[in-house]
Amino acid sequence: MENQINVGDQNTQQIGQNPVNQPPVPSVPKKQRLNYWMISTIILFAVLLVGSAFYFLNTRKETNPSQDLPQSQPSIEPSATTLPTGSVTTKPNQIRIGRLQLTYPDSWIPIFATPNNDKNVIFFAKTEQEAQTLASCASAGSCGNYSLKLEDFANYAVWQNSTIEDFIKQVRSDIQLSSLQKTTIGGREAWLGYTDSQKTRYQAVIVTSSAQPKSFVAITASTANTASGMLEEYIVKLPTVKVSEYKSVKPNELTVKKGFVVEMTSSLNAQDSSLVNFILDSLLAPKNSTTNYSYFLYTESIKSSGSSIGGPNYPKDNYLNSKYFLLTDNNQLSDGVYGTNQVQIKLSTSSTKNLGLFLADPKYCQQDTDCQYRANFCTIGAFNPYHQFATPWGCGPGDFEGLGNSEELHTSLGCQTDVEVKYDSLKCVSNSCQAVNAKAVCK
């Protein structure tokens, strides 16, 4: 730093001591020198004056072109929340719910909305301008003008020993099966038909499971813009819907266990885990594929601290603007950005080796430091840091792994205060987290 300062000082001083060199003035007699000097001074002054004026005008014209143009407003960098986190590399063309697969044209743009009375809602547009308008009103909670809206998309499980017709009469009295035409879609029973004389609403009821427990999906389609023709296009597409037998799969039952780090961003604010699952199923489905895949989200658990037992760490605000870990058997997924301009799902490979095994089994570990003593749903014990993401639930008495629940222990130990568990250490034994010498005691 000192050298730099010194160099700077020397340069400044050197410039001050070295003015521009001028030619030497010849030695002339005094009188002659006076005449020549005056004449040359006048001529030189005139030349400099004209030259300076010409140079100034030209320089001003070249370096200040804005005077000849309208003044523009200063540019403002948009905030990170108004822009996508990355360009979408894979766009969807399917909607999936309850093993029902509806493939739509590539020109259609899906816009998700907040569920209405626990019923999923999705709009479709054909232009980006309409999609942006719908995305804005969907975030606000109401869209009055749209080309196509599909709502319901709920998979209903029918009561034991009840027919689908009887179940609908009791649970969904708004659906009049008698006014619909009975047919088959995807080899399954279905009821279809318009429900108004203006032909702006169309009802579909499609059986998704004929075995016990029986189930069906109800879809109510409507339009506020009949001229768009999208409702008619949707009705034409209905016979191509694919339906497979509904089956609930647990994480540890997956034959393929792929793990990803997930970053979700969206202009839609949602605190509904069923909507998150609906979006995952639809946006991550391989294009034109008929194979069903499962998707499970996880968060990193809060660590135990003192007398406070660690547990799930859920997003506080928007479920669609959060980071997760994803477990899936979709072997066609790879790193990239999936979705639309409204909802984007960025997948990336985790630095944790065999992340899928950690997610599929909360006890799985590779070393001692992988283990924590925390709550995993309603069980308290030694687990790895990843907790499955689900809608908050309620538990009865806490179940201490291998020791019993807190009420039983409180009684058997005769505790006047709460029960706590003490252990020597947490070990990874045969890829399973274990609390060594765990013992319940009174606080």
Q: In terms of domains, do 198 and 234 share one?
A: yes
Residue with tokens 């005139």, as numbered in its chain: 46
Let me know if residue 89 belongs to a domain: no
How far apart, in whole angstroms, are the C-alpha atoms of residue 138 and residue 134? Answer: 6
Query: Could you tell me if 104 and 125 are in contact, meaning their C-beta atoms sit under 8 angstroms apart?
Result: no
Q: In terms of domains, do 194 and 276 share one?
A: no
119-125 and 148-157 strand pairing: antiparallel
Cα–Cα distance list, 11 to 1, 283, 381 (Å): 15, 64, 72
What's the burial of 162, exposed, middle or buried (CB within 10 Å: 0-12/13-18/19+)? middle
Let me know if residue 161 belongs to a domain: yes
Query: Could you tell me if 338 and 89 are in contact, meaning their C-beta atoms sit under 8 angstroms apart?
Result: yes
Q: Which two tokens stand for residue 185?
A: 């879609």
Let me know if residue 198 belongs to a domain: yes
Q: C-alpha angle with apex 323: 319 to 328, nearest 5 degrees?
A: 95
Q: Assess whether the previous peptide bond of 213 is cis (omega < 30° from 0).
A: yes
Query: Could you tell me if 110 and 122 are in contact, meaning their C-beta atoms sit under 8 angstroms apart?
Result: yes
Beta bridge partners of 79: none
Interacting residues of 442 by C-beta distance below 8 A, sequence separation 6+: 413, 414, 415, 416, 417, 418, 419, 420
Domains identified in the chain, total number = 2
How far apart, in whole angstroms, are the C-alpha atoms of residue 150 and residue 217? Answer: 12
Q: In terms of domains, do 348 and 433 share one?
A: yes
Print pLDDT tens along the chain (443 aa): 332 222 233 333 333 333 333 333 333 333 344 444 455 555 555 555 545 554 444 443 333 333 332 332 222 222 333 334 446 678 889 888 767 888 999 999 999 998 877 788 999 999 999 999 999 998 877 889 999 999 887 778 888 888 888 888 888 888 988 899 999 988 889 999 999 999 999 999 998 887 777 888 899 999 999 999 999 999 999 998 888 766 778 999 999 999 999 999 998 988 888 889 889 999 998 887 888 899 999 999 988 887 788 888 888 788 999 999 999 999 999 999 999 989 999 999 999 999 999 999 999 999 999 999 999 999 999 999 999 997 666 788 889 999 999 899 999 999 998 888 999 999 999 999 999 999 999 98
Q: Which two tokens stand for residue 245?
A: 């037998």
Let me know if residue 34 belongs to a domain: no
Q: In terms of domains, do 197 and 181 share one?
A: yes
Q: What is the CA radius of gyration of the chain?
A: 36
Q: In terms of domains, do 336 and 399 share one?
A: yes
Beta bridge partners of 149: 123, 222
Q: Residue 123: which H helix or E strand, with range?
A: strand 119-125
Task: List, in sequence order, every beta strand (DSSP E) within 186-293.
Answer: 188-194, 201-209, 215-222, 242-243, 258-266
How far apart, in whole angstroms, are the C-alpha atoms of residue 297 and residue 357? Answer: 14
How far apart, in whole angstroms, are the C-alpha atoms of residue 227 and residue 221? Answer: 15
How far apart, in whole angstroms, are the C-alpha atoms of residue 14 and residue 18? Answer: 6
Q: In terms of domains, do 154 and 284 share one?
A: no
Q: In terms of domains, do 290 and 420 share one?
A: yes
Query: Could you tell me if 364 and 259 are in contact, meaning their C-beta atoms sit under 8 angstroms apart?
Result: no
Q: C-alpha angle with apex 336: 268 to 131, nearest 5 degrees?
A: 35
Let me know if residue 25 belongs to a domain: no
Q: In terms of domains, do 423 and 274 share one?
A: yes
Let me know if residue 199 belongs to a domain: yes
Q: In terms of domains, do 235 and 305 share one?
A: no
Q: Residue 9: which H helix or E strand, with range?
A: helix 2-17
Q: Which two tokens stand for residue 130?
A: 């309409």
Closest Cα partner for 205 from 160, 233, 247, 163? 163
Let me know if residue 235 belongs to a domain: yes
Look at residues 243, 264, 291 and tell me which one is the last residue of a structural domain. 243
Which pLDDT belongs to residue 392? 64
Look at residues 221, 243, 265 and tell me which one is the last residue of a structural domain. 243
How far apart, in whole angstroms, are the C-alpha atoms of residue 236 and residue 331? Answer: 32
Look at residues 223, 243, 263 and tell me which one is the last residue of a structural domain. 243
Range of the domain at 412: 251-442
Q: C-alpha angle with apex 202: 340 to 288, nearest 5 degrees?
A: 40
Q: In terms of domains, do 340 and 436 share one?
A: yes
* Share in percent of the chain as helix, strand, coil (round to 5): 30, 30, 40
Q: What is the CATH number of the domain that holds 212?
A: 3.40.1000
Q: In terms of domains, do 236 and 260 share one?
A: no
Query: Could you tell me if 405 and 343 are in contact, meaning their C-beta atoms sit under 8 angstroms apart?
Result: no
How far apart, in whole angstroms, are the C-alpha atoms of residue 6 and residue 12? Answer: 10
Interacting residues of 36 by C-beta distance below 8 A, sequence separation 6+: 28
Let me know if residue 15 belongs to a domain: no
Which pLDDT belongs to residue 196? 93
Q: In terms of domains, do 228 and 324 share one?
A: no
